[in-house]
Amino acid sequence: MTHENFPHLFSPFQVNALNLKNRIISTGHETHLNDHGKIGDRMVAYHEARARGGAGLIMTEVALVHPGAVFVADPIRVDTDDCIPGYKRLADVLHGYDCGLISQLFHPGREIVATEDGTAPVSYSASPVPNERFHVLPRPMPTWLVEEVIEYYGNAGARMREAGVDGVEIVGSHGYLPAQFLNPGVNLREDQYGGSFENRLRFVREVAANIRAKTDIGFVIGMRLSGNEISADGLGVDDMVEICDALASDGDLDYMSVVGGSSSTLAGSIHIVPPMSEDTGYTAPFAHAIKQRIDIPVFVTGRINQPQIAEEILSRGHADMCGMTRAMIADQDMPNKAFNNKADDIRACIGCNQACIGHFHEGYPISCIQNPVSGREVRYGSVAPAATPRNIVVVGGGPGGMKAAAVAADRGHSVTLYEKSSQLGGQALLAQLLPTRAEFGGIVTNLEQEMALAGVSIKKNTTVDMEMIKALNPDAVILATGAEPRWPAFEGRESAHVVDAWQVLTNEANVGGSVVVADWRADWIGIGIAEKLAQEGCRVRLAINGYMPGQTIQMYVRDTGVGRLHKLGVEMIPYVRLFGADEDTIYLQHTMSGEPVICEETDTLVLCQGHTPVNTLEDVVRDAGIEVHLIGDCLAPRTAEEAVLEGFRAGITV
């Protein structure tokens, strides 16, 4: 039966002997949920939630095939039989939901961050060609080691078959080891694994053949490649089309999985998990170019965050299946909601990168700023209904307050949310006004829908005071009253032309032609304000109280922002604190040397100095003996992630 709205997305598909119920993939992605290098309770629960939510195929994260492949602390390993029980358990669970399971097999080559004990690693690659991002100079792999690694790939494949996994995916995307052999700029070998086009393909071909020989004809073997490495030292679309055409003709590979980018450079690395500044579905042309040349299935991944985007890619014949990984991190039930004609209820990924890849880069388990349950399934995967319905008042309609209200109401409480302004969303309404950040406003739309589904009563244009709270007689009050811009004391504040970021975004300030942005937080606000004013024709100097712009935010978001600032001619001044100002000069102090840094010919100083909590109700509510919970910025100014997480916790606590 053809689906009414998504006929291609919900059509079955076969890859070798694997029959899939739909075209939706949760592709391999780092979760930091492993149990000392193995699959344990947290990872099983995480993937089970997505299988239960309707995914057709789940790929586990990169698993190291060889002892020399360690690239981060405590990675998943498949180089011994110790891995088999964990994968078998996961396979049994996912198959119970009619969901396929493929394991990624991985060797990073020169793309290594650190060893397990934190020391600088010895890395191996096709040749001693350094990478730009991690500043690693690898040792060339001796022929015996190349042959050993090939055997280890095959052994890992055999272990996955024994565990009941449906197949494996050789990760050659993003400039990892297989791609290093394919790239003539990285592979300078003069033996049988380098030189000619055929020789450079030999490593990948022998890996695939070794896996096939140690498994069986029905076992799925896929290859993941960047259709365009989008990198100074990377391969382009035409190169990849020729490579995929040659590899597909061998008969050992059952599909090609196409992404974009490369780990070897900062510019290439942002495409590993592209931020919201990249267009949705932008990798589809890479997949389409390859699909036109090969006769095995083609998968594609890259900012496919909504079912309608996936449907369009599939209907145009650009790919056979779509990786929708972050879409299911944001909403594990996305496939089922789309299938059941409830697409409006989907909590759409906004591409912020903060709690998914951002958590991984910081060494923490994966999550989502909109969906705190992601990565915390063992702890929060089942929320109990309220034993006794209560009357709950939520004060403040930003992301934290909205989440608290939705969760509490969904549990059966009677919840009323009060917002003093005419719009819900709090600071998210300002965030979406910054360049390339419009999609951030999606968090407001998503939370509004969550509240509507849960039955929250909403009162806008209402300022809550203690007299009103007493009249409402609530069983509990959740305070989510947010924050306001922080204006620090500094010499000359009264005489200089000083405005804050909020005033700039709401057009309440008349900004001059030469601007200094004093950025204390070193986050996306300073970068965004500088970019906005530069786009409007201002001369902009961004003064950062940190060692780089965007120091505190996820690196792909930061790096893309810095690139845009450079193109716009913004002068970036790191290591400075705001010291003083007068009519046409801003005085900064270098945070390390203590020396003055003076910005002359300045018309306007724009403050991006963080926020001050707005919290006038806590003490009086407590004194009245009413149960009270503080969440988000009114507790301590941070980000939407903390506000939503604390809102969720308050919602399950009251």
* Tally of CB atoms within 10 A around 418: 24
Segment 566-612, tens digit of pLDDT: 999 999 999 999 999 999 999 999 999 999 999 999 999 999 999 99
User: Could you tell me the CA-to-CA distances from 232 to 186, 208, 263, 266, 602 in Å, in that order?
Assistant: 12, 28, 11, 10, 37
Q: What pLDDT score does 633 carry?
A: 98
* Mean pLDDT on 451-462: 98
CA–CA separation, 485 vs 465, rounded Å?
22
Which parts of 417-535 fold into alpha helices (H)? 428-431, 442-454, 466-472, 501-505, 524-535
Strand partners for 167: 102, 220
The two structure tokens encoding residue 497: 């032309």
Sign of dihedral through CA atoms 152, 154, 157, 158? negative
Q: Are 171 and 28 in contact (CB under 8 A)?
A: yes
What is the rounded average pLDDT for all residues in the chain?
97
Q: Are 477 and 626 in contact (CB under 8 A)?
A: yes
Question: Given phi > 0 = left and psi -120 to 50 = alpha, else beta, which region is 195?
Answer: left
* Mean pLDDT on 48-57: 98
Question: What is the third-level CATH fold of 13-377?
Answer: TIM Barrel (3.20.20)
CA–CA separation, 156 vs 167, rounded Å?
11
CATH of domain 387-477+638-653: 3.40.50.720
* Mean pLDDT on 110-114: 87
* Tally of CB atoms within 10 A around 385: 9
Which parts of 384-427 fold into alpha helices (H)? 399-410
Q: What pLDDT score does 397 carry?
A: 98
Q: What pLDDT score does 113 carry?
A: 79
Segment 5-46, tens digit of pLDDT: 999 999 999 999 999 999 999 999 999 999 999 999 999 999
CATH of domain 498-609: 3.50.50.60
- For residue 216, pLDDT beyond 90: yes
Confidence label for 240 from pLDDT (cuts 50, 70 and 90): very high
Q: What pLDDT score does 286 carry?
A: 98
* Mean pLDDT on 502-512: 96
- For residue 116, pLDDT beyond 80: no
Q: What pLDDT score does 385 carry?
A: 97
* Mean pLDDT on 446-465: 98
Q: Any idea what DSSP says for residue 449?
A: H
385 three-state secondary structure: coil
Q: E strands, 247-373, where?
A: 255-260, 298-301, 321-323
* Mean pLDDT on 152-181: 98
Segment 363-400, tens digit of pLDDT: 899 999 999 999 999 999 999 999 999 999 999 999 99
Q: What pLDDT score does 3 carry?
A: 95
Domain boundaries defined on the chain: 13-377, 387-477+638-653, 498-609
Strand partners for 355: none
Rg for the chain (alpha carbons), in Å?
26
Share of the chain above pLDDT 90, in %: 96
Q: What pLDDT score does 445 carry?
A: 97
Q: Any idea what DSSP says for residue 174?
A: B
Contacts 24+ apart (CB under 8 A), 333-338: 333/52, 333/53, 333/54, 334/24, 334/53, 334/54, 334/307, 335/22, 335/24, 335/53, 335/54, 335/55, 335/56, 335/307, 336/53, 336/54, 338/5, 338/6, 338/9, 338/10, 338/54, 338/307
Q: What pLDDT score does 212 carry?
A: 98
Segment 127-164, tens digit of pLDDT: 999 999 999 999 999 999 999 999 999 999 999 999 99
Q: What pLDDT score does 73 carry?
A: 77
Q: What pLDDT score does 389 carry?
A: 97
- For residue 70, pLDDT beyond 90: no
Q: What pLDDT score does 546 carry?
A: 97
- For residue 349, pLDDT beyond 80: yes
